[in-house]
Structures are given as C-alpha cells and as structure tokens.
C-alpha cells in the first residue's frame, strides 16, 4: 500500500513539474519574440480578457516596461468596466515595475464607480510596497469605502507598506471596529507590520515621533482590549511588545548620547568650559569687587566689535559681551556699589547742611533726603524721556516741568542743590543753559525708578510706554535703559505690583532672556 501511494504521488507530480519547466522556457520565448511597439502593447492589453493567456500576456507587458505601464494607465479611462478591471489587475501583477502608475491608481482607480476596480487598485498599490508611500493619503480616505471588499483590500495595502504608512495609523485604528470581520482581521495584521517597522527603527526616532507612535499603539491596544472580537493572540502580543520597546527608548542612555554629541561637535566642550570659567570669574568679582566690573566693562566698550567666525563677518558682538562681563554690568550689586561711592559721608553732609542754613534764607528748610531723591528721579526722567538715553535738557524747561511738584522756586533750590552741592548735575553749553547728569548710569538708574513708580500697576500706561519705545531707533544706550527699567520692575514688584507682561516685553526689546524675580536683588 505504501509503495502504491508513493507511485501515485510520483505520477501526479511528474506532469506538473514538466509543465512548470516548459512554461518557464515558453514564457521567456514569448517575451523575447514579442516586440514592444504601440501596436503590440495594445494587442497584449486586448489579450488580458483571455484568462488562458493571462500569465503570458502580463509577462510580455512587464518586458515592455514603462510604455506598457503608461498604456495600462490610459485604459483606466475606458467606459467598459471589464477593461478597467483587467488594466488594474495587470498593473497589480507588474508590482513595483508599475510605480509610474501610482498617481493614476491613487486618484482615478481608487475613486472608480466599480468596487472591483477600487479593490484591484488597492491591491496594485499594496503590491508595490513602500514604493507606493505617496498613495497613503488616498488609501486613508478609501478606508471609509462603503464596500467591505474594498476596505479589506485597502487595509492590506496599508499594512504592506509598514511604517511608511504611519500617517494612516489613526484611521487604521478605527478599522479595528469595522462591522466586517475580514476588515478587522486584516487591520490587526496591518497594525502588526507597522508596529514591527516602528520597533526596528525605535533607536532613530525623535522624542516627538516616539511619543506619537506610543500614543497610537496604546489607542489600538485599548480598542482591541475593549472589543468583543477575538483577535489573533500572536499579533496582539506583537503590538504589546512593540509598545514596551518604544517606551524603553523614551529615556535614552545619556552618557552614550553625550559622547556622540561631543564627537560631532568638538568645539562644544571648549565653549562650555569658556562660558563656565568666565561666569564663575565674574560672579566672584561681583561678590568681592563689584566696582571692578563697572570699570572693566567701561574700558572694553571703547574697543570695536568682533565678527563671529562662521558668519562671514556679518554678525558682530561687542568685546564686553563676548567676554560675558556685559551681562553683569547692570547687576543691582554693581549699581549699589557705584551709588555708594557718590554718597557724601556724614561729616560732609553736616557741613553742607550748616552751610545751606547759613547762606540761604531762613524760610527755606533743610533739604530732606527723600525729597532730594524725588527731585533727582524727576530730573533724571526729564533728561531721558525723549530718546530713552541720557541727554542734556534746557534749565528753564527742566524747572517748568519739575516745578509741578512743589513750585518753581522750590524746584530751583533742589536743582541747585543737586548741581552745586552734590555734584550729580552739570551745566553745559556756551550759555550754561543746559543741564545733564554727570554719570549716565545714575541717570538711567533714577529715571527707571521714576518710571516704575509713575506707571505702577496701570497696564494702560505701560502699554503707552512700550509703544513709544517701539518708535525710537534701536541703539545700545536705549537697551541699557530698558534693562535698568526691567530690573527696577522686578526689584520693586512687591510694592508697586507691575503687570506681569512688562518684564517680558522689556526683555524682548532689550534682546535678552527674562530673569526670574529671585535673581534680582532689592534696589
């Protein structure tokens, strides 16, 4: 019995093997014998309706290359449904060789009124694999097709493209709820292929891509777990495994990535050491000798800017900012140290007070420090408010403006006190009719306090001030004043309640990042 069984199998396979062997040579001979003229190609296309010659005809068309693909694409415009079906089926049999027909298959065939043509078009695109990636948007739309056979074939086509079809993933997840079982089954297989592709390239994905893929996988798994459908356990396990692998790449090996970064950018450690060393140096100097920072910065400002390498000389940076000392120039500790040097000692103040009381009329009271400071702020603002940088102002104009505080005569007394006794103001011009501060830094410092106290928590006033700033030509001096205003806002925040947007707007206009209030000392 066993020998008889083996003999039957040999007799059965012998003619089949002979046919396959002869068919191989026969198909080659036919392809070689057929020419690829337009007439011959049209003849092959006509023969597609004959199922007995289908294999030979497709082989001949494949040999003709792009000319045959173009002719088959044109057949999709025919009114006869059978012709369109045969043309699409032939394109699908050609596989990746028919890649030039992808636009026609995506736009024309997938929208055909015949479900057989639409289904065959999806199969043809799927047979091309990743080469048909550009058809993914059209396939995504086709997932909503009313015909279940079309939806089933579209899902399979998307799966054949693997991770290249990731833009169709959200719609693919919804097909897991499709009313047709075949569509749902194909959807889980398609998901498995896409997840495998993500898993293989997980190490190269960006953080955003990684999070997006994990989110989509979790959505699909949630649909599967809440569904009553019994999905293949192997594919479900593969999805869970892919999700775990992607999650494991959320937090990469920082030391390994750091070494890779250093190998790519060899200048990076030098830059880090340079910035860290100078920052530490200026911080120590700020702590021990804040006035030295002021002197060094002023000395470096006299030199021209330096063009940065790699920018063809178009981007230049002042030397004081290049060595980072410019970032410490307006620190409150520097301002306070400088202001302390300008304050008269108690003995000198007492002598001046006695001199004032002896030389001035008895009805003029001794000048109080708070009043002197109030007038100094008002005068500083008058010297700065036009261009937002220290400038000279006519004496009479100044007196008329600050006279609103307590009268013209009183304003004149305080102006003379600041000029003659304290030496904070100086007369300039041939007629000595103009007044300006002896130190620009002090003028900016006092004017900033005046502005903050003037605008206070009034949002409208601050917006008017910022609008005026935008009309003034950009210059370094104005940026210094804006930085001073910003520091005063942050230092006086507890008392004047400056609107939160002000410091951010000032930082943007000054061209630096915003600091937190904790970084600014009380002025």
pLDDT at position 393 = 85
pLDDT at position 9 = 33
Q: What is the pLDDT of residues 277-302, one digit of tens each?
A: 888 888 888 888 888 887 887 787 76
With cut-offs at 50, 70 and 90, classify the pLDDT of residue 255: low
- As a whole-number percent, the residues of the chain with pLDDT over 70 amount to 77
Extract the tokens encoding 290. Answer: 């804040």
With cut-offs at 50, 70 and 90, classify the pLDDT of residue 461: confident
Q: What is the mean pLDDT of residues 24-33?
A: 40
Q: What is the mean pLDDT of residues 307-329?
A: 67
Q: What is the pLDDT of residues 483-517, one digit of tens each?
A: 888 888 888 877 888 888 888 888 888 776 554 44
Q: What is the mean pLDDT of residues 120-148?
A: 87
Asked if the model's pLDDT at residue 467 lies above 80, the reply is: yes
Which residues, including other chains, have CB under 8 Å from residue 457's CB and lie 6 or more apart?
A: 496, 497, 498, 499
Higher pLDDT, 466 or 312: 466
d(CA 468, CA 385): 10
Is the dihedral angle over the CA atoms 455, 458, 459, 464 positive or is it negative? Answer: negative
Q: 10 Å Cβ neighbour count for 14? A: 10
pLDDT at position 289 = 83
Q: What is the pLDDT of residues 79-95, one digit of tens each?
A: 888 878 877 787 777 87
Asked if the model's pLDDT at residue 6 lies above 50, the reply is: no
Asked if the model's pLDDT at residue 349 lies above 50, the reply is: yes
pLDDT at position 27 = 42
d(CA 69, CA 91): 7
Q: What is the pLDDT of residues 444-458, one digit of tens each?
A: 888 888 888 888 888
pLDDT at position 33 = 35
Calculate the alpha carbon distances from 469 to 385, 386, 482 in Å: 10, 10, 9
Helices (H), 307-389: 319-322, 332-342, 346-359, 369-384
List the single range of 19-23, 255-259, 408-412, 422-426 with lowest mean pLDDT: 19-23
Q: What is the mean pLDDT of residues 211-240?
A: 81
Query: What's the chain's average pLDDT?
Result: 75
Extract the tokens encoding 43. Answer: 């003849």
Higher pLDDT, 343 or 312: 343
Q: What is the DSSP string of 255-310?
A: HHHHHHHHHH-THHHHHHHHHHHHHHHHHHHHHH-HHHHHHHHHHHTTSPPEEPTT
Q: At what angle do helices 440-455 and 369-384 cross, to 10 degrees?
A: 100
pLDDT at position 354 = 52
With cut-offs at 50, 70 and 90, classify the pLDDT of residue 258: low
Asked if the model's pLDDT at residue 109 lies above 70, the reply is: yes
Extract the tokens encoding 431. Answer: 């007629």
pLDDT at position 283 = 86
pLDDT at position 261 = 64
pLDDT at position 11 = 39
Q: What is the dihedral of CA 19, 22, 25, 31, to 10 degrees?
A: -60
Q: Residue 317: beta bridge partners?
A: 306
pLDDT at position 472 = 79
List the single range of 309-313, 397-401, 430-434 with lowest mean pLDDT: 309-313
Higher pLDDT, 7 or 160: 160
Q: What is the mean pLDDT of residues 4-28?
A: 39
Element spanning 427, H or E: strand 425-428
396 in Cβ contact with 433 (< 8 Å): yes
d(CA 208, CA 168): 17
pLDDT at position 476 = 61
With cut-offs at 50, 70 and 90, classify the pLDDT of residue 98: confident
Asked if the model's pLDDT at residue 345 lies above 80, the reply is: no
Q: What is the mean pLDDT of residues 307-316?
A: 57
Task: Record the pTM.
Answer: 0.44
């Amino acid at each position: 019995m066993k020998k008889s069984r083996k003999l039957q199998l040999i007799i059965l396979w012998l003619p089949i093997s002979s046919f396959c062997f002869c068919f191989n040579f026969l198909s080659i001979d036919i392809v070689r014998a057929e020419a690829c003229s337009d007439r011959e190609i049209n003849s092959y296309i006509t023969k597609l309706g004959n199922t007995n010659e289908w294999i030979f005809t497709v082989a001949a068309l494949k040999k003709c290359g792009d000319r045959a693909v173009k002719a088959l694409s044109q057949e999709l415009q025919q009114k006869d449904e059978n012709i369109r079906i045969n043309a699409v089926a032939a394109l699908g049999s050609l596989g990746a060789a028919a890649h030039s027909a992808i636009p026609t298959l995506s736009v024309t065939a997938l929208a055909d009124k015949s479900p057989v043509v639409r289904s065959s078009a999806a199969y043809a695109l799927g047979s091309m694999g990743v080469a048909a990636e550009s058809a993914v948007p059209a396939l995504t739309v086709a997932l909503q097709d009313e015909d279940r056979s079309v939806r089933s074939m579209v899902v399979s086509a998307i799966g054949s493209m693997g991770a290249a079809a990731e833009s169709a993933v959200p719609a693919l997840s919804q097909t897991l709820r499709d009313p047709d079982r075949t569509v749902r089954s194909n959807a889980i297989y398609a998901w498995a292929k896409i997840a495998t592709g993500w898993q293989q390239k997980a190490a190269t994905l960006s953080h955003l891509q990684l999070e997006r893929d994990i989110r989509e996988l979790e959505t699909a798994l949630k649909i599967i777990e809440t569904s009553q459908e019994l999905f293949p356990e192997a594919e479900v396990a593969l999805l869970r495994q892919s999700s775990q692998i992607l999650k494991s790449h959320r937090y990469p090996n920082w030391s390994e990535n750091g070494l890779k970064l250093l190998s790519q950018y060899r200048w990076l450690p030098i830059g880090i050491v340079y910035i860290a060393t100078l920052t530490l140096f200026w911080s120590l100097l700020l702590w021990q000798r804040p006035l030295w920072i002021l002197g060094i910065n002023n000395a470096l400002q006299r030199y021209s800017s330096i063009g940065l390498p790699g920018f063809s000389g178009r981007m230049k940076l002042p030397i004081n900012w290049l060595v980072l000392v410019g970032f410490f120039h307006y620190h409150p500790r520097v301002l306070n140290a400088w202001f302390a040097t300008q304050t008269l000692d108690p003995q000198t103040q007492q002598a001046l007070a006695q001199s004032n009381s002896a030389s001035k009329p008895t009805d003029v009271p001794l000048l109080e420090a708070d009043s002197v400071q109030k007038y100094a702020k008002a005068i500083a603002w008058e010297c700065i408010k036009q261009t937002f940088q220290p400038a000279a102002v006519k004496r009479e104009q100044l007196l008329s403006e600050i006279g609103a505080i307590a009268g013209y005569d009183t304003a004149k007394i305080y102006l003379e006190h600041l000029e003659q006794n304290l030496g904070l103001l100086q007369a300039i011009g041939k007629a000595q009719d103009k007044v300006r501060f002896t130190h620009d830094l002090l003028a900016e410092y006092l004017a900033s306090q005046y502005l903050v106290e003037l605008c206070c928590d009034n949002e409208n006033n601050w917006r008017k001030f910022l609008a005026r700033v935008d009309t003034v030509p950009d210059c370094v001096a104005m940026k210094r004043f804006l930085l001073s205003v910003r520091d005063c806002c942050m230092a006086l925040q507890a008392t004047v309640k400056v609107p939160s947007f002000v410091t951010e707007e000032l930082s943007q206009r000054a061209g630096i990042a915003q600091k937190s209030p904790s970084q600014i000392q009380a002025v």
